[in-house]
Amino acid sequence: MDPVDLLLHPVRLRIVHAMSGGRTLTTAQLCELLPDVSKATVYRHVGLLAEGGLLEVDGEQRVRGAVERTYRLRRARAVIDAETAASVSPEDHRRVFAVAMATLLAEFNAYLDRDPDPARDMVGYRQHAIWLSPRERAEMIEELRDVIVARMANEPSPERIRHLLSPILFPAEEPPAALE
C-alpha cells in the first residue's frame, strides 16, 4: 500500500503520531495510548503500517509464549513530501484534511476522556486571521518551522509529556487580481 494511502486513515495516523519523536513501542503499549480503539483494530493497523514500511521492528521478546515486537517509526516514510502534496487534486486535499481533522478530534476526545485540566495544560484551539504577502507568509512558515523543529528534537524525560501541535494555514479569500 502506498504511504499516502496508509496515512489516510484516522487510526493509522494516530499510531504514527503516537510513534513519533523516536519512540519505540509495542502494540500493547499503543493499545494503552489509544484506549478508545479496539485492540484488534490497533493490531490490524500496526500490521498494515509495518507491511507498508512506515513501522519497522526494533526488537522482539517472548511474553507468555507469544512474540512481542517493539516498533519504531520510519519517519522518512511517514511524511507526505511537497511534490506529492502539489500533485494531488482538490478532492484528494479534501479527503486528507477530513482524515486529519477526524484524527485530531479523536485525539482531543481521548485527552478529554482522561479527566483533564485544559487551563493547566494550556490547551489552545484558536483561529487568527492574519494579513500576509507571499513573502511574509513564506518567512512566517520558515520561522514557525524553525521553532517547531527545534522542539521536535527534544527527548522524552520525566518532566516532559508529549503534546500534539497541529498548525493549519490556508488563504481565507481569493488573492487580489494584481497578485494572480
Q: Are 23 and 32 in contact (CB under 8 A)?
A: no
Say whether pLDDT at 113 is over 60: yes
Say whether pLDDT at 85 is over 70: yes
pLDDT band at 180 (very low <50, low <70, confident <90, very high): low
Spatial distance between the Cα atoms of 180 and 174, rounded to a whole number of angstroms: 9
Taking alpha carbons only, the member of 157, 14, 28, 39 closest to residue 6 is: 14
Q: Which residue has the higher pLDDT, 180 or 154?
A: 154
Q: Are 59 and 29 in contact (CB under 8 A)?
A: no
Tell me the pairing of strands 55-63 and 24-26. unpaired
Unique residue bearing C-alpha cell 509495542:
26
pLDDT band at 146 (very low <50, low <70, confident <90, very high): very high
Q: Are 70 and 24 in contact (CB under 8 A)?
A: yes
Q: Which helix (H) or strand (E) holds 57?
A: strand 55-63
> What is the predicted pLDDT for the residue at 43?
96
Unique residue bearing C-alpha cell 504511504:
3
Spatial distance between the Cα atoms of 153 and 147, rounded to a whole number of angstroms: 11
Please give the grid coordinates belonging to residue 165: 501541535
> What is the predicted pLDDT for the residue at 170?
87
Q: Are 77 and 54 in contact (CB under 8 A)?
A: yes
Spatial distance between the Cα atoms of 13 and 33, rounded to a whole number of angstroms: 13
Please give the grid coordinates belonging to residue 156: 522524552
Taking alpha carbons only, the member of 36, 64, 34 closest to residue 46 is: 34
Q: Are 4 and 80 in contact (CB under 8 A)?
A: yes
